[in-house]
Structure 1
Amino acid sequence: MEFDHLAVAGESLEEAAAYVEEALGLPLSAGGEHGHFGTHNRLMSLGPEEYLEAIAIDPAAGALPYARWFDLDRFTGPARLSNWICRVDDIAAIEPEAGAPVPLSRGAYHWTMAVPQDGVLPYDNCHPALMQWQGPHPAPKLPDVGARLERLVVSHPEAQMLAKSLPLYERRVVFEAGPAALRAEIRTPHGLRVLE
């Protein structure tokens, strides 16, 4: 299991993108649509193998007979850091609590994502969403704007139990006891900036 990317959700893509760009002082790049979940995104490089996405429900998408990923059906309030995503080598071998594997694509990109039936990840959405890439990764195609993840703080009342459940060897990810929340500290050309 390796860190792959961050997701910043908003009630609209414009709100999510504006929050990221204002907080980091850096521009997002065009993304695209995720037809299966009726969402769309914009992207920012966090290095050659990592990125962040601003994501929201696409107003052009109709109602779905199943829950959207990242708990977006219930998302309300200001744009915020909503999820962290890790890649794995064998999505079929993960614990079922993380969700059922769903094959997905966006343009030239293909991956399988584990998505819970109700769209809500364990530990109040503080558990990472898990995915397996098939083919190219989007990060190398994004312009390098000088942003790098320095630290991700995962806060939850059962933070240590969550940490012990993950085969993640990543010093930048820190688990702390507290209310369910995520905080990303990102180094930019303007200094250290924060997404919450």
Structure 2
Amino acid sequence: MSTCRIDHLAIVAPTLQAGSDALHAQLGVRPQPGGQHARMGTHNLLLRLGEALYLEVIAVDPGVPAPPRARWFELDRLAADAPPRLACWVARTDDIAAAVAATAAVPVGEVLPMSRGGFGWRITVPADGSLPLGGAAPTLIQWDTPAHPASTLEDLGCTLVALELQHPEPARVQALLDRLGLAEPAVTLTVREAPVPGLLAWVRTAAGLRSLG
């Protein structure tokens, strides 16, 4: 199986405005408009973090009907007054079927086709919309269009330099990364034991190193 790479991070928020405000407070920049995910009833904002790496702020889209299934990233469980949070990360592969097979010990969900504007991709989504290992395990994605979203975004001087995966069973998370062949030369990826699953990202900005999570 080919090596997986970090593709993007996801901040879940009750509204895009709340997510944009939180990101501005933490990094000093505002994410750019993304688009709608018709199949999931969500929409997003995007921030470039590298040549093929970005961050999305994602929220329920109040202007469209609720989908007939659970939304991804546990958005259906997010309270209207919940603070935006770095909830999960997404790993890119060019063989999503093989990547899913490699994660058999940690079910990541079924592979669903998705689209937003001119982009098309396949992504793993659990039927109940949950986050694998509470977000410490990656969601898997395979892009089916040649351009990567990060290449279309303005460079606001933000670069992901480190990502820490936190979980009560760090060995389980590390074993999963090993099975996926997860490698990201430009980002320091570590796994740490913690009472509850979580993520901590370090982003280099024009104003210095800032943390998310």
TM-score band, normalised by shorter chain = over 0.9
Q: Cα distance, 1:159 vs. partner?
A: 1.6
1:61 match: secondary structure: coil
TM superposition outliers: structure 1 runs of 4+ over 2 Å: none
Match of 2:159 in 1: 148
* 2:191 aligned partner, one-letter code: F
Which ranges in structure 2 are unaligned for 5 or more consecutive residues?
none
Is residue 122 of structure 1 aligned with residue 132 of structure 2? yes
Is residue 131 of structure 1 aligned with residue 118 of structure 2? no
Bigger shift: 133-142 or 164-173? 164-173
Q: Distance in 2 between matches of 1:164 and 1:155?
A: 14
The count of aligned residue pairs is 196
Q: Cα distance, 1:151 vs. partner?
A: 0.8
Match of 2:89 in 1: 84
* Identity fraction in percent: 41
Q: Distance in 2 between matches of 1:4 and 1:132?
A: 10
Q: Superposed, which structure 2 residues align to 1:8-87 within 5 Å?
A: 8-76=11-79, 77-87=82-92
* 2:122 aligned partner, one-letter code: T
Q: CA-atom RMSD, angstroms?
A: 1.2
* 1:65 aligned partner, one-letter code: P
TM-score (norm 2): 0.88
Q: Distance in 1 between matches of 2:32 and 2:48?
A: 9
Match of 2:189 in 1: 173
* 2:211 aligned partner, one-letter code: V
Q: Cα distance, 1:57 vs. partner?
A: 0.4
